[in-house]
Amino acid sequence: MSSSPRNVLVLLYDGVQSLDVTGPVEVFAALAHFPGRAGYAIRTVSPAGEPVRTSSGLTLVPDGELASARPGPGTTVLVPGGRFTGDFEPRLTDWLRSHGSGAQRLVSVCTGGLLLAEAGILDGRRATTHWKVCERMARDYPAVAVEPDPIYVRDGPVATSAGVTAGIDLALALVEEDHGQDVALAIARHLVVFLRRPGNQAQFSAQLAAQTARRDPLRDVQQWITEHPGEKLGVEHLAARARLSPRHFARAFQAETGVTPGRYVERVRVDHARRLLEESGEGIAQIARACGYGNPEALRRAFVRTFGQPPTEYRRRFGTSRP
């Protein structure tokens, strides 16, 4: 376990996403409920020290001005995301260039990774961000090794997370680093977050992916896949449900969703397996059958491709039931 930072500095600015701020902050603040644990001193700053208006219209009042902030070795700097449609606020990027390296950890949530990239902090590092702007990050900042799939990425003292709620997962991972797994899981339950997700979990959950198709026949097929992961889900079967030829269906599906039908089915099945591993006491063979896999080995291979670890290890770390 590493030395424990005791300060969290949150950068605020006009257009910031409120959940990118409050989600991780609630995780850090929850440590106050654990007697005997050194909590985190949380401070917020804005470029001029004045209130900022979030993307949802809320007003946040900072504790101070950005220029006065000097992060030390015990500080985690949190850079939340926002709707970046024009130039970046130069006071933010200048401050990050000048003082970011003084922090023990630099953490971005959602599109906050674009601010770190603009400041040059992500050059030569692995990083992620909201899936909608991964291509933009890769295009505008070629020195950054963009990873579009994980919900968060750690590279040395820098950590970047995917869209919005992934910031909660990353904050829980940092608390685990500082105070151990038991405390992190207790905070997750205190906040009614079922369980902390591993960083290499894919950004798309099956339910989110089910909303990506615009055309009704394809959207209906996606919903069918989500609700029936154990059924036969080959292209021929799915095309018949959509009343399309297999070739037309496969082309239309990929055009609408960005993934092949086979890849989408695998995502849904391993996501269903993940939930069963977390919540049920069913054996691996039973879970494999429920998710449409002919045998446990087929499930294991698909699970490792998506989550980077076998089902047995995932259950050991994140399951609440035991077979």
Cβ partners under 8 Å of residue 69, min gap 6: 9, 43, 45, 95, 99
Q: Which residues are catalytic?
A: 110
Residue 210 pLDDT level (bands cut at 50, 70, 90): very low
Q: Which regions of the chain does DSSP assign to beta strands (E)?
A: 7-11, 41-46, 52-53, 59-60, 64-65, 75-79, 105-108, 126-127, 145-146, 152-155, 158-161
CA atoms within 13 A on the CB side of 218: 23
8 A C-beta contact, residue 174 and residue 23: no
Q: Tokens representing 190? A: 């205190």
Strands 145-146 and 52-53, bridge-based pairing = unpaired
Domains of the chain: 7-190 (3.40.50.880), 206-318 (1.10.10.60)
pLDDT digits (tens, 9 = 90+) for 142-182: 999 999 888 899 999 999 999 878 899 899 999 988 988 88
Between CA 42 and CA 56 the distance in angstroms is 22
Q: How many Cβ atoms are within 10 Å of 273's Cβ, its own excluded?
A: 27
- Whether pTM > 0.75 for this model: the answer is no
pLDDT digits (tens, 9 = 90+) for 241-282: 999 999 999 999 988 887 899 999 998 999 899 889 988 889
Average pLDDT, the chain: 88
What is the per-residue burial (b if ≥16 Cβ within 10 Å, else e) of 213-235?
beeebbbebbebbbeebeeebeb
